[in-house]
Structure 1
């Protein structure tokens, strides 16, 4: 675990404005998957929900032509500043998921979307909560990604998504296979519940997303997954 936390720390860019999601264990898991992808110089890469731009910067360092998108103006400003501070070439757009790039196609799409199941009646997410709250089953954004991302991939292109097993990786894989992609879970990592999930444990048990057996919240674990999907040539 200490080594993994060091990996998370290494991903944190120079700047993060208040309210912008900073790299966590899910970012590190996706970064590991990115590091294993062949990325020839000049490959077109899209980072959706870029936050601080950590993954966009990593792809740019490997020679990709990187475009980053986020719905948050603070995230857009943070990523632009981090690209300038690190000398990375990243085009950054503000927009809702794929809206700013619908006329383009990509060799690689990365996304760490909101995926935390959220009780009905919780007010619409604001600030940093927009980076994790994702509806009752955690799939409010994931299902849109599964529907829209395949249309932006070039033949042989790859989509990498990270999310929690609480939001059903099997459903993600199924949607992507139905869209004609070869999809599978390629990485898994278990982490202790963070502050958000600890406040929702009782509700998660009530709706069947966690075992109904009593458990010490300090020992409760969440499994993060990376789903890799490739559009056949």
Structure 2
């Protein structure tokens, strides 16, 4: 896709990685965004929002709390020659608008140990882009609980996360909110700098066996009938 060829990164902005591309691939294979209103939560560089526009969405909104990310999204959308409305806003502010046909999100989901501080992983992206709190659920829990209110009837949520942030808990929360939720895509990838830095703590808390150096990424699709 054209989105892969533009300058999607910027200093202080989450760079598109395996999770971004897995989410885009799931959207493309689903055909769910064609002719639909889409919102990209925790948009970062805007790469997923741009992909949605290229895939035929009629309107795309990208939300992020980082001014750097909003500027990056705007620049990338301009470079890709697509219409994306970018807003400086928390993911939860999507609830202030009419429900969207498709909600996509690549939230912070990495479980972070109590001794981790900003700048502790110098080769990685900004900590706010991946810090999911002690269990990785700081954003995932409230997002899953309120997802049904963001999605229009007949619409869907596409959410990417790591196995280490408890996929079953996300599925249960989405189903409890009234959505039909299932895994629609998976990918196993080597640890990046963030998980390498957290590996000792993940082992100490029983979430990682000594020999593991890979994680499984999962895209969940949750439909509102």
Normalised by the size of structure 2, how large is the TM-score?
A: 0.91
1:184 aligned to 2:182? Answer: yes
Distance 1:171 1:141 in 2: 13
Which residues of 2 match residues 100-119 of structure 1 at below 5 A? Answer: 102-119=96-113
Which residue is 2:81 aligned to? 87
Post-superposition CA distance 1:56-91 (Å, at most 9, x none): 111111221100000100000000111112211010
Which residue is 1:31 aligned to? 24
Post-superposition CA distance 1:35-58 (Å, at most 9, x none): 022346541000001111111111
The answer on whether the counterparts of 2:37 and 2:101 sit within 8 Å (CA) in structure 1 is yes
The answer on whether the counterparts of 1:193 and 1:221 sit within 8 Å (CA) in structure 2 is yes
Runs ≥4 residues deviating over 6 A:
124-127
- Cα displacement (A) at 1:130: 0.8
Post-superposition CA distance 1:112-162 (Å, at most 9, x none): 000000012434689711110111110101111101221011111100000
Q: Aligned-residue CA RMSD in angstroms? A: 2.1
- Cα displacement (A) at 1:10: 6.1
- Cα displacement (A) at 1:12: 5.7
1:73 aligned to 2:67? Answer: yes
Of the structure 1 ranges 170-179 and 57-66, higher mean CA displacement relative to structure 2 is found in 57-66
1:223 aligned to 2:209? Answer: no
1:197 aligned to 2:198? Answer: no
Distance 2:202 2:53 in 1: 38
- Cα displacement (A) at 1:103: 2.2
Which residue is 1:144 aligned to? 142
Aligned residues: 220
Which residue is 1:4 aligned to? none
Residue ranges of structure 2 left out of the alignment (5+ in a row)? none
Distance 2:17 2:135 in 1: 21
Normalised by the size of structure 1, how large is the TM-score?
A: 0.88
The answer on whether the counterparts of 2:94 and 2:150 sit within 8 Å (CA) in structure 1 is no
Which residue is 1:156 aligned to? 154
